[in-house]
Structure 1
Amino acid sequence: MDEPIRDLSISGSGTAPGGDYHDVKINGSGKVQGNIQCQRLEINGSGKVVGNSQMAELIVKGSGVIMGNVKARTFTINGSSTIEHDVTLEDLQVNGTVRIKGNIHGESIKSYGILDVGGEIESEELIAEGRVSVDGLCSADRIELEVNHSFSKIREIGCSTLEVRRRPFTGFLSFLFNGIRKTGLTVDSIEGDEIYLEDTIARIVKGNRVVIGDGCVIEKVFYKKDYKQAENAKVKSAVKE
């Protein structure tokens, strides 16, 4: 009779080997040395996995580091995390800071903190209310970026629908930041069907329906159906294809 898969718990600075587990919990600066496969991995300190990780649920509440690839159904970050290679998942939620040095492949990515990707993003949806940095292509069916309080940079965007919006400052913040807004998105090129931009700096924007809103600086716009431009937006040229 096969033995049941055991749990693994590391406290302090302990080290355990990789392998197959049910639930894995790292408290402190514990380390898993090797590839790991489990149902649930929870890191509550500065824990580290030196290898690839595959699990249904990954939760980081401290400053966890995974030195290999990650495959998970859900990945939730409530602190800071670094992934040295690629991430494949269904749902990612960032409530703190994550640095992924490889690519992300997923269905839903929601970030309310800092999302930093060294490779590419491929997802069904990307929703962010914080800073986003992507060194490669950001490809998603639906992208919604709120650029208030942050400065984001993406090399290239490909999408069906894209909305980049600012959230207006209110109250005392409105008095402090009015006229000195230094937030927004910088991107080399954007291509999509429905595009709405605010506070965006871009070299090329291509779409079926394009709206260039407040605070934008765009070099060239190519549109197929509709085009609108705010009075204070700066566009060098807009061409109907």
Structure 2
Amino acid sequence: MNEGLNSLNFNGVGKCKGGIFDSVNVAGTGKIEGNIKCSKFDSSGSAKVLGTTECNEFFTSGLSKVEGNILASKVEISGLLRCTGDINSIEIDTGGIINVEGNIKSDIIHGKGYLKANENIDCENINLSGILNCNGFLNCEEINISLNGISNFNEVGASRINIKKGHGDYCKKFRMLEKKPINFEKVSSNLIGLGLLSIRTYTESKLFANIIEADEISLENSEIKVVRGKNIKVGKGCYIESLEYSESIEIDEDSIVAEIKNINETVNLKKDK
């Protein structure tokens, strides 16, 4: 609690200016015009912030849109969040949908849901069951993803990456959203606008990527242009255009690798010449 600060509560429909509050609670429809600072932001309805949101805890179980940056120790989403700026946090827990037009920077990203960054993701550890899309550079120490839908990476740099086929019913997330006290027609419109209501996105479990580079790599159900690493294991359902390894390689008979290079052999050939 912050003594001397008032809390901001929306139980019906309303709007107000930004400012500094103890907590912000949206159970109806709330619009905040300007930057806000608070200890906790909690929305179970429909919230719109026209500015940067700075708080210790950011929770959304309904529909939230932040036209600015989110600066929070913890971001926890079980509904839908759209952020037009960047998210900078210590922990992101997604059980719903997070769409970020800018960058994501967080120590830990985990949960069961959908996460998209239109630019870069910088993280120590990602442990996600669902869908992860990154249009920029994904920089992470360790990545573990259980695919429940179609994920897309542009370029990845990591120490360890493990991609496997999941077995969950991700469409349950949308049936849960229908039960929330929000305008689901508006939610559906947002999902269509983000390209999230494609049946193929949720009925297939696959990763598409341009470049993956890591020391330890294990892949399933992946189509990748270039894979580079020390120890690489290519499991079932993969197609890789070019693979470069330095120590060990294992390829499942169900997968196709068009070109394979042993980096050490290439280096030795150059030295011999």
The yes-or-no answer on 1:93 pairing with 2:93 is: yes
Q: Amino acid of the residue matched to residue 204 of structure 2? A: K
1:224 aligns to what? 246
| Structure whose residues are more often strand by fraction | 1
Q: Amino acid of the residue matched to residue 249 of structure 2? A: Y
Q: CA deviation at 1:168?
A: 5.7
User: 1:237 & 1:81 partners in 2: Cα distance?
Assistant: 41
2:190 aligns to what? none
1:97/1:69 CA distance change after superposition, 3 Å = same
Q: Say if 1:217 and 1:234, in contact at 8 Å, map to a contact too.
A: yes
The yes-or-no answer on 1:9 pairing with 2:31 is: no
The yes-or-no answer on 1:160 pairing with 2:159 is: yes
| Structure whose residues are more often helix by fraction | 2
The yes-or-no answer on 1:69 pairing with 2:69 is: yes
Q: Secondary structure, in 3 states, of the residue corresponding to 1:236?
A: strand
User: 2:166 & 2:116 partners in 1: Cα distance?
Assistant: 21
Unaligned 5+ runs, structure 1: 170-180
User: 2:17 & 2:166 partners in 1: Cα distance?
Assistant: 47
2:216 aligns to what? 194
Q: Which whole-Å deviations, capped at 9, do the CAs of 1:118-156 have from their partners, x for residues lacking one?
A: 111100011111111111111110001111x31111111
1:150 aligns to what? 149
Q: Say if 1:213 and 1:230, in contact at 8 Å, map to a contact too.
A: yes
User: 2:60 & 2:167 partners in 1: Cα distance?
Assistant: 32
Q: Which whole-Å deviations, capped at 9, do the CAs of 1:148-168 have from their partners, x for residues lacking one?
A: x31111111110000001146
Task: Compute the RMSD of aligned alpha carbons.
Answer: 1.4
Q: CA deviation at 1:60?
A: 0.4
Q: Identity over the aligned pairs, expressed in percent?
A: 27
Q: Say if 2:129 and 2:166, in contact at 8 Å, map to a contact too.
A: no
The yes-or-no answer on 1:45 pairing with 2:45 is: yes
User: 2:166 & 2:89 partners in 1: Cα distance?
Assistant: 29
Q: CA deviation at 1:183?
A: 1.9
User: 1:168 & 1:7 partners in 2: Cα distance?
Assistant: 42
Q: Say if 2:93 and 2:109, in contact at 8 Å, map to a contact too.
A: yes
Q: How many residues align?
A: 227
- Using the size of structure 2 for normalisation, the TM-score is 0.80
1:177 aligns to what? none
Q: Amino acid of the residue matched to residue 214 of structure 1? A: K
1:56/1:235 CA distance change after superposition, 3 Å = same
Q: Secondary structure, in 3 states, of the residue corresponding to 2:102?
A: coil
User: 1:58 & 1:183 partners in 2: Cα distance?
Assistant: 30
Q: Amino acid of the residue matched to residue 20 of structure 2? A: D
2:259 aligns to what? 237
Unaligned 5+ runs, structure 2: 169-202, 264-273
1:167/1:10 CA distance change after superposition, 3 Å = closer
Q: CA deviation at 1:203?
A: 0.5
* RCO comparison, higher one (Cα < 8 Å, 6+): 2
User: After alignment, is 107-116 or 85-94 more displaced?
Assistant: 107-116
Q: CA deviation at 1:182?
A: 3.4
The yes-or-no answer on 1:204 pairing with 2:226 is: yes
Q: Secondary structure, in 3 states, of the residue corresponding to 1:113?
A: strand
- Using the size of structure 1 for normalisation, the TM-score is 0.91
